Structure 1
Amino acid sequence: MTRTLLSLGHGYTARALARRLLPQGWTVLGTTRSPDKAEALRAEGVMPLVWPGSDLAPAVAQATHVLASAAPGAEGDPFLPHIAEALRDARPDWVGYLSTTGVYGDHQGGWVDETTALTPATRRGQMRVEAEAAWQALAAEAGLPLHIFRIAGIYGPGRGPFAKVRAGTARRIIKEGQVFSRIHVEDIAQVLAASIARPNPGAIYNLCDDDPAPPQDVLAHAAELLGLPLPPAVAFDEAELTPMARSFYAESKRVRNDRIKNELGVDLLFPDYRTGLAALLREAFDG
């Protein structure tokens, strides 16, 4: 049976999933806004769709699986209004929506799981709640097998603390009690692949590792791995941060990941930032 993934907003995470699926004989269609990026996707074995600018209905009709990765804007999910009718007709075997643990808001370092009320502390988090609800409404109306994945802070190749530490620009921002959950991109890819193999329509999963930690601890460990001095500490109130970066510090929580283990049988490749950073460093030297 031919299996085809339509990846709406084919970015960093979706590319990691594609690297797992393509060797298994999957066809992967991925949208991108840039003709230049389209050529890069083609080189990776992905059939690119430049959007806006192309009709997605034929791709939706072809897809057995659909993954939506694009962040919502003020008008909501960028794809949903354009593909809702096609999705009703196509009835794919699996639909995944990538959301964020930001939907839970601030819990002052306390634990959250998939049953925790959605109380986002930022406008960005509120837009994610609204986008989740829009996808859920369509799924309920059309009988779509929707799965929602609430993802913690993503790191991986090309996305880690090493470059800033090496450049001497890293700063350990200190905010009392602040803690974040995070996850390696390859663990996101394996969770998505596990869900595709074991669909559970309506399911919601938190994607994070086992070790929520203060961000300054991660930077300190990266410096230690590199054999470089500890980045200087800066109090949060005195730090020069972009509005986006500052907004992340509006929320502090620890995210539980029991469901991906118990329901999907996932054994994390990188259960904490120490194993993840060590692997990134090995890959950099091996490369």
Structure 2
Amino acid sequence: MKVLLSIGHGYSARALAPHLLARGWRVIGTTRSPEKAAALRGEGVEPLIWDGGDLPLDQATHLLTSVAPGPDGDPVLAAQHEAIAAAQHLDWVGYLSTVGVYGDHAGGWVDEATPLSPSTARGQARVEAEAAWGALAAAHGLPLHIFRLAGIYGPGRGPFEKVRQGSARRIIKEGQVFSRIHVEDIAQVLLASIEAPDPGAVYNLCDDDPVPPQDVIAYAAELLGLPLPPEVPFDQADLSPMARSFYAESKRVRNDKIKRDLGISLRYPDYRAGLRAMLDQAG
């Protein structure tokens, strides 16, 4: 039996799990929360409350880590470097990273061959984590695949609630564009990679239409039949440091590689298709 050990079994991994379970896999998902463990169990996932101790690597055929790096680097490698290095039986290893590793390109296009030049501390931490996983894989022959995710949206993660509440704003920063990806398309790419491993591969995960963030808010309001949220200049917006840091980078991310190498046809090729589907699914 094939078994996925999913470390930090969060939003993206939870979208992947049903596809694997339907194929007869076991999925073991780690979490730090007893409440989330109960939710995972209800989804058919075997929950494991993990605090950095031993992992059931001997039971796994496939390994996915969604854990973000911390101040001291990648916490999974810090805790389990030697055990993962020794897991020579793994058929596939996936690391979820971010397009933040490319830094700011003033709205220009980037692809997987673009040099990494992060402009935020979070982006730099991801570059270092990618390098650490890459070094481990190279030294021990692990079949590592790196997935650089654009802004993730999907059920439970979208603009509709704020628009309904009247708290949404269209923040305007000249030249600002973001790439994004629907969570079901993330699941689709991960599944395709699992079924056709290519150790050492790096993939950008994003849709076909990078756009200014205010366009997404405006379309959500249009779908809901509600007034257009107000415009707020970026320099006047009351944003958290985390939110403000996202506006420090503007780029358009290419996704040709997932289409060419993995045969992906995006279910939601742009935010319009994704938002319409979310609204339909919500009833």
TM-score (norm 1): 0.97
In structure 1, the partner of 2:136 is 138
In structure 2, the partner of 1:71 is 68
In structure 2, the partner of 1:251 is 249
Matched, 1:119 2:117: yes
Separation (CA, whole Å) in 1 of partners of 2:232 and 2:219: 17
In structure 2, the partner of 1:61 is 58
Deviation at 1:80, TM superposition (A): 1.0
SS at match of 2:127: helix
Separation (CA, whole Å) in 1 of partners of 2:185 and 2:52: 33
Say which of 190, 197, 200 aligns to 1:199.
Answer: 197
In structure 2, the partner of 1:80 is 77
Separation (CA, whole Å) in 2 of partners of 1:183 and 1:251: 17
Equivalent residue pairs, number: 282
In structure 2, the partner of 1:176 is 174
Paired letter, 1:140? A
In structure 2, the partner of 1:224 is 222
Separation (CA, whole Å) in 2 of partners of 1:105 and 1:99: 13
Separation (CA, whole Å) in 2 of partners of 1:10 and 1:105: 26
Q: Is the 8 A contact 2:52 2:79 kept in 1?
A: no
Deviation at 1:53, TM superposition (A): 6.1
Deviation at 1:89, TM superposition (A): 2.2
Matched, 1:187 2:155: no
Q: Give the alignment's Cα RMSD to 1 decimal.
A: 0.8
Paired letter, 2:45? V
Q: Is the 8 A contact 1:60 1:83 kept in 2?
A: no
In structure 2, the partner of 1:210 is 208
Task: Give percent identity, aligned residues only.
Answer: 73
In structure 1, the partner of 2:15 is 16
In structure 1, the partner of 2:40 is 41
Unaligned segments of structure 1, at least 5 residues: none
SS at match of 2:86: helix
Separation (CA, whole Å) in 2 of partners of 1:85 and 1:72: 18
Q: Is the 8 A contact 2:52 2:76 kept in 1?
A: no
Q: Is the 8 A contact 1:154 1:185 kept in 2?
A: yes
Unaligned segments of structure 2, at least 5 residues: none
Matched, 1:278 2:238: no
Deviation at 1:54, TM superposition (A): 4.5
Deviation at 1:85, TM superposition (A): 1.8
Separation (CA, whole Å) in 1 of partners of 2:144 and 2:76: 15
In structure 1, the partner of 2:3 is 4
Q: Is the 8 A contact 2:144 2:199 kept in 1?
A: yes
Deviation at 1:55, TM superposition (A): 2.2
Deviation at 1:23, TM superposition (A): 1.0
Q: Is the 8 A contact 1:162 1:222 kept in 2?
A: yes
SS at match of 2:147: strand
Change (3 A) 1:53 1:36: farther
Separation (CA, whole Å) in 1 of partners of 2:35 and 2:238: 34
Deviation at 1:43, TM superposition (A): 1.0
In structure 2, the partner of 1:25 is 24
Q: Deviations over 1:87-130 (max 9, x none)?
A: 22222000000000000000000000000010001000000000
Paired letter, 2:188? Q
In structure 1, the partner of 2:165 is 167
Separation (CA, whole Å) in 1 of partners of 2:32 and 2:165: 31
Deviation at 1:42, TM superposition (A): 0.8
Paired letter, 1:37? K
Separation (CA, whole Å) in 2 of partners of 1:65 and 1:273: 31
